[in-house]
């Protein structure tokens, strides 16, 4: 793992980019909604059921105050006790049904919500795996994590709770208006007087809230980003004794996030009582005027009581709507980010008629290959020509940054050449089905990366179906078997994160076994530079020699023994192959190779 601290790519750069991206949330983005609705489609039946329940809830919400009105006007006021029991039971039944329907609807929505959430994350993960290295080069892992976790969650809120409550609230609102108008136009008009005031307050709140909530979202992403980066770089931080500075930097973003949250909370706690108060004002107004009208016989007592209930319910959806409004906004912002991720197309793609690389011999050719990582960056390889016969071992040597890794990345087709072509067995790598070609290649990275899991699972990584015998054979061949058997849990030993419970040499050996198990035709090896003890060194060399025998091998070589044993040495410098030949031949030339060996001492 290498750490780059170039400006703009560091944590601050990442946060800045993230911050500016967050600004784009709009109230409504048709494409986001349309794309995201697709994720609801598999659950359309349950969604329909939830909508039906919502209509039921609306109906019952409207019905219950009406039942109370009937009880008062037709039984209590005229002094009729007979039938009062029935209407009371009806009222109780209506409330019961209302609660049941509400619970059912909520449960359904949460159920659908969790499914959609998991589906969205699965789709994103699948997509991330399909994206080429170019994407992963440009993107900070923490930011992607935040997309898959946070943004997806807000979209889910919108799809399930948000949209349904929006429709439900509008229905209730419309229903109440109709019922109020038909019961008593006077009282209805009185209630509606407060609406403009309510809308005004909500509007003011929304404007502030939008800013506040955006601030909280941006700052939480910063906290996540900072945290991820620091955990990743913990060894470096500790090694350079920079804990205090890291702590300070973390506290900075943490504080910003805390204050943003408190500001948003403060806003809510000003707004909500404000709205409540307006609601109470409306109730008091209705009570005052309605009370007089009841006394004057203009409206019945039942109507007044029912109205009180309706007025309270009337303001609920209005409050809800402003909440949904904020949900919509963050969901749109989140949705845009997720869409942007889904819009990324892999740069390395398969042709529809990709050739299967089933039984290749393993000849490799680079034909006038020029390469740049991005259109706006300089060429890192220039007109490189290289022929590797099947079964040959080629050592790439040269100073850091010369382009050696870029060459092997092109052979493994993590990237495509900008000009020229890479050929395997005389066929352009772009004509092969990508995965089948990779299946023929074994990669041993410089940093011996192991996944969490057991040693056995790690060896089996490239061929999950391999039996224990095959695993053991590969392990024996890679000198893994001996030390694994001495471990109390043998092949079942769990590898801790960062494989800290294994030595660097052991990790390298396991990586060799992993590559050996897939029996690749072509080996791509970025020789580790980390020094290991001499015994392990010999074990590694032996394992590699066995593995390379009979296969084509391209090695970024650092050990002199590897270099000397190669069939061909290619000296890479400044993006070109400047010398080729055998060890003695190159030394005799007294060129770059000779100088490199001088430096080596």
CA–CA distance from 45 to each of 48, 52, 99, 108, 227 (Å)? Answer: 5, 11, 22, 11, 41
Contact assessment for residue 518 and residue 462, using Cβ atoms and an 8 Å cutoff? yes
Of the two residues 398 and 505, which places its CB atom closer to ligand ADP in the complex?
A: 398
Of the two residues 182 and 400, which places its CB atom closer to ligand ADP in the complex?
A: 400
Distance CA 481, CA 489 (A): 13
Contact assessment for residue 370 and residue 407, using Cβ atoms and an 8 Å cutoff? no
Of the two residues 4 and 129, which places its CB atom closer to ligand ADP in the complex?
A: 4
Distance CA 168, CA 158 (A): 14
Check residue 494 and give left, alpha or beta (phi > 0: left; psi -120 to 50: alpha): beta
Check residue 301 and give left, alpha or beta (phi > 0: left; psi -120 to 50: alpha): alpha
Distance CA 521, CA 417 (A): 22
Selected range binding ligand ADP among 6-14, 263-271, 315-323, 373-381, rule: CB under 6 A: 373-381
Q: Which residue, judged by CB position, is nearest to ligand ADP in the bound state?
A: 405
Of the two residues 383 and 431, which places its CB atom closer to ligand ADP in the complex?
A: 383
Of the two residues 26 and 136, which places its CB atom closer to ligand ADP in the complex?
A: 136
Contact assessment for residue 418 and residue 378, using Cβ atoms and an 8 Å cutoff? no
Q: How far is the CB of 405 from ligand ADP (least distance, A)?
A: 3
Q: How far is the CB of 386 from ligand ADP (least distance, A)?
A: 14
Of the two residues 210 and 558, which places its CB atom closer to ligand ADP in the complex?
A: 558
As a whole number of Å, the end-to-end CA separation of the chain is 27
Selected range binding ligand ADP among 164-172, 372-380, 429-437, 509-517, rule: CB under 6 A: 372-380
Of the two residues 9 and 92, which places its CB atom closer to ligand ADP in the complex?
A: 9
Of the two residues 357 and 577, which places its CB atom closer to ligand ADP in the complex?
A: 577
Q: How far is the CB of 592 from ligand ADP (least distance, A)?
A: 13
Residue 521 engages ligand ADP in binding (rule: CB under 6 A)? no
Q: How far is the CB of 555 from ligand ADP (least distance, A)?
A: 12
Q: Which of 279, 425, 262, 292 lies closest to 357, judged by CA?
A: 425
Q: How far is the CB of 7 from ligand ADP (least distance, A)?
A: 14
Of the two residues 410 and 475, which places its CB atom closer to ligand ADP in the complex?
A: 410
Of the two residues 90 and 373, which places its CB atom closer to ligand ADP in the complex?
A: 373
Of the two residues 406 and 440, which places its CB atom closer to ligand ADP in the complex?
A: 406
Of the two residues 271 and 414, which places its CB atom closer to ligand ADP in the complex?
A: 414
How far from chain centre, in Å, is Cα 500? 26
- Residue in 192, 250, 373, 594 binding ligand ADP, rule: CB under 6 A: 373
Site residues for ligand ADP, 123-142, by CB under 6 A, read 137
Site residues for ligand ADP, 459-478, by CB under 6 A, read none
Q: Which of 336, 62, 352, 299 lies closest to 183, judged by CA?
A: 299
Of the two residues 267 and 348, which places its CB atom closer to ligand ADP in the complex?
A: 348
Q: How far is the CB of 380 from ligand ADP (least distance, A)?
A: 4
Site residues for ligand ADP, 401-460, by CB under 6 A, read 401-406
Site residues for ligand ADP, 376-405, by CB under 6 A, read 377, 380, 398, 400-405
> What are the residues whose beta carbons fall under 8 Å from the beta carbon of 8, sequence distance 6 or more?
none
Distance CA 313, CA 304 (A): 14
Q: How far is the CB of 337 from ligand ADP (least distance, A)?
A: 23
Q: How far is the CB of 373 from ligand ADP (least distance, A)?
A: 3
Distance CA 253, CA 222 (A): 6
Site residues for ligand ADP, 203-222, by CB under 6 A, read none
**Any idea of the CA torsion for 154, 158, 162, 163, to the nearest 10 degrees?**
180
Here the tokens at position 548 are 């390379």
Q: How far is the CB of 409 from ligand ADP (least distance, A)?
A: 7
Write down how long the chain is: 601
Of the two residues 59 and 445, which places its CB atom closer to ligand ADP in the complex?
A: 445
Q: How far is the CB of 379 from ligand ADP (least distance, A)?
A: 9
Distance CA 307, CA 314 (A): 10
Here the tokens at position 28 are 């409504």
Here the tokens at position 202 are 């909500």
Q: How far is the CB of 400 from ligand ADP (least distance, A)?
A: 4
- DSSP category for residue 557: -
Q: How far is the CB of 332 from ligand ADP (least distance, A)?
A: 32
Q: How far is the CB of 403 from ligand ADP (least distance, A)?
A: 4
Distance CA 226, CA 529 (A): 29
Contact assessment for residue 356 and residue 371, using Cβ atoms and an 8 Å cutoff? no
Of the two residues 151 and 527, which places its CB atom closer to ligand ADP in the complex?
A: 527
Distance CA 331, CA 258 (A): 21
Burial class (CB in 10 A: 0-12, 13-18, 19+), 535: exposed
CA–CA distance from 68 to each of 73, 84, 137, 313, 387 (Å)? Answer: 9, 11, 66, 15, 91
Here the tokens at position 544 are 């590699």
Q: How far is the CB of 128 from ligand ADP (least distance, A)?
A: 17
Distance CA 290, CA 298 (A): 9
Q: How far is the CB of 395 from ligand ADP (least distance, A)?
A: 13
Binding residue count for ligand ADP, defined by CB under 6 A: 12
Contact assessment for residue 573 and residue 399, using Cβ atoms and an 8 Å cutoff? yes
Angle of CA points 237, 239, 241, to nearest 5°: 65
Binding residues for ligand ADP, rule: CB under 6 A, are 137, 373, 377, 380, 398, 400-406
């Amino acid at each position: 793992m290498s750490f780059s601290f170039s400006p703009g790519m560091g944590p601050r750069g990442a946060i800045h980019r993230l911050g500016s991206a967050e600004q784009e949330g709009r109230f409504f983005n048709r494409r986001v909604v349309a794309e995201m609705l697709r994720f609801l489609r598999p659950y359309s039946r349950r969604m329909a059921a939830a909508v039906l329940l919502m209509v039921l809830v609306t109906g019952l919400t409207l019905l219950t105050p009406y039942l109370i009105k009937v009880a008062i006007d037709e039984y209590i006021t005229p002094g009729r006790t007979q039938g009062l029991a029935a209407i009371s039971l009806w009222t109780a039944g209506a409330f019961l049904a209302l609660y049941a329907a509400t619970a059912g609807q909520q449960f359904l929505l949460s159920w659908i919500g969790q499914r959609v959430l998991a589906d969205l994350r699965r789709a994103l993960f699948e997509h991330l795996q399909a994206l080429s290295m170019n994407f992963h080069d440009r993107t900070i892992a923490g930011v992607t994590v935040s997309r898959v976790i946070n943004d997806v969650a807000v979209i889910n809120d919108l799809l399930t709770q948000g949209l349904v409550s929006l429709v439900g609230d509008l229905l209730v609102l419309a229903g109440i208006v109709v019922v109020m108008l038909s019961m008593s136009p006077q009282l209805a008009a009185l209630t509606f007087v407060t609406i403009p005031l309510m809308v005004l307050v909500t509007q003011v709140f929304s404007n502030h809230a939008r800013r506040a909530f955006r601030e909280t979202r941006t700052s939480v992403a910063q906290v996540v980003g900072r945290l991820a980066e620091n955990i990743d770089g913990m060894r470096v931080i500790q090694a350079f004794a920079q804990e205090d500075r890291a702590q300070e930097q973390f506290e900075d973003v943490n504080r910003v996030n805390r204050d943003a949250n408190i500001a948003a909370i403060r806003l809510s706690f000003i707004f909500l009582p404000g709205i409540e108060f307006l609601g109470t004002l409306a109730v008091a107004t209705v009570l005052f005027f309605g009370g007089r009208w009841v006394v004057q016989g203009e409206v019945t007592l039942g109507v007044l009581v029912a109205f009180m209930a309706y007025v309270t319910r009337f303001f609920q959806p209005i409050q809800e709507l402003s909440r949904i409004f904020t949900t919509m906004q963050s969901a749109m912002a989140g949705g845009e980010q997720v869409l942007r991720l889904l819009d990324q197309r892999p740069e390395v793609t398969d042709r529809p008629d990709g050739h299967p690389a089933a039984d290749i011999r393993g000849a490799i050719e680079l034909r006038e290959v020029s390469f740049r990582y991005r259109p706006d960056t300089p060429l890192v390889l220039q007109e490189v020509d290289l022929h590797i016969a099947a079964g040959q071992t080629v050592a790439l040597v040269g100073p850091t940054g010369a382009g050696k890794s870029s060459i092997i990345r092109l052979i493994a087709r993590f990237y495509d050449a900008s000009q020229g072509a890479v050929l395997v067995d005389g066929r352009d790598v772009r004509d092969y089905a990508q995965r089948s070609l990779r299946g023929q290649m074994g990669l041993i990275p410089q940093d011996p990366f192991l996944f969490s899991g057991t040693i056995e699972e790690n060896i089996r990584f490239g061929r999950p179906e391999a039996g224990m015998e095959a695993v053991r054979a590969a392990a024996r061949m890679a000198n893994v078997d001996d030390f694994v058997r001495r471990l109390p849990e043998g092949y079942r030993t769990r590898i801790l994160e960062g494989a800290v419970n294994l030595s660097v040499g052991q990790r390298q050996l396991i990586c060799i076994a992993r590559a050996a198990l897939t029996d690749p035709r072509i080996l791509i090896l970025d020789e580790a530079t980390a020094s290991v003890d001499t015994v392990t060194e010999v074990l590694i060399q032996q394992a590699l020699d066995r593995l390379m025998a009979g296969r084509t091998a391209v090695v970024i070589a650092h050990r002199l023994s590897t270099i000397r044993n190669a069939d061909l040495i290619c000296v890479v410098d400044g993006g070109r192959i400047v010398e080729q030949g055998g060890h003695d031949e190159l030394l005799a030339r007294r060129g770059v190779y000779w100088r490199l060996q001088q430096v080596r001492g």
